[in-house]
Amino acid sequence: MPLEPSKDEFDADKLSLYWSHLNMPQRENYSLKARKGWLRMTTSTVTLDEVSRSAEGRLQDKNPTFIGHRQSEPNFTATTKVDVSGLKDGGVAGITAYAAHHNHYDVQVIMRDGKRYVQAKIRIGEMEHIEKEIPLNESVVYLRITADPQFYHLCYSLDNKEFTHLARMDYRYLSTETIGGFCGVHLGIFAHTLTKTISYADFDWTDFRFENK
């Protein structure tokens, strides 16, 4: 079986088959035609925090705008280039290490009161925490999550060369031993809105590089 390529330039007519969604996707929220060579992700009113199951164990009808694929090694570097000029107030777009709706680490850009901010967001159980928030004047930014067997590191860059470290979080809070019977961490990109105002973010590429050490 051929290895998945580490980088997706979003040049094809359809998303690669290795990408997965959370619940049944709203197909209209994903476009490879709106801007050639980019994936346009329209913000959903459903956030990553809201994906859950009913008491009977069935997936509820909640569909965040998200694509991801499984973290296959403890050591990795996951980077994406995103243009957030299409985000409106309340819009959020970013990269995530996602274990479950109540356990994920995100590097995200949020639009608030007409201004952009890049954030490191930590969600562990009932606790949600913004570790660091930095004003962002540019509309194109590189978001990155790296990991080793102990920690996830959340970073961003304006030039894909020098990265600013935003947060470091323990590996164990995303592990199945800690949170229960989930099928593992997925690395992905997402877009949602904290209001009812719908907007979008354009992702130029993702580059998820796993190291077998």
pLDDT digits (tens, 9 = 90+) for 162-173: 999 999 999 888
What is the reported pTM?
Answer: 0.92
Structure tokens at 39: 């994936």
For residue 47, give every residue at least 6 positions away whose Cβ sits within 8 Å of its Cβ, in sequence order, or none.
64, 92, 192, 194
Of 2 and 193, the structure prediction assigns the larger pLDDT to 193
CB 95 within 8 A of CB 155: no
Q: What is the pLDDT of residues 100-117, one digit of tens each?
A: 888 999 999 999 999 999
Domain boundaries, the chain: 7-211
Give yes or no for a contact between 11 and 37, defined as CB atoms under 8 angstroms apart. yes
The helix or strand, by DSSP H or E, that contains position 199, with its residue range, turns out to be: none
Taking CA atoms, 99 is separated from 50, 116, 135, 184, in Å, by 13, 27, 28, 6
Is residue 204 packed enough to be buried (19+ CB in 10 Å), middle (13-18) or exposed (0-12)? Answer: middle
Q: What is the pLDDT of residue 1?
A: 37
What is the pLDDT of the chain when averaged over all its residues? 90
Fold classification of 7-211 (topology level): Jelly Rolls (2.60.120)
DSSP 8-state code for residue 53? B
b/e sequence 1-20, b meaning 16+ C-beta within 10 Å: eeeeeeebebeeeebeeebe
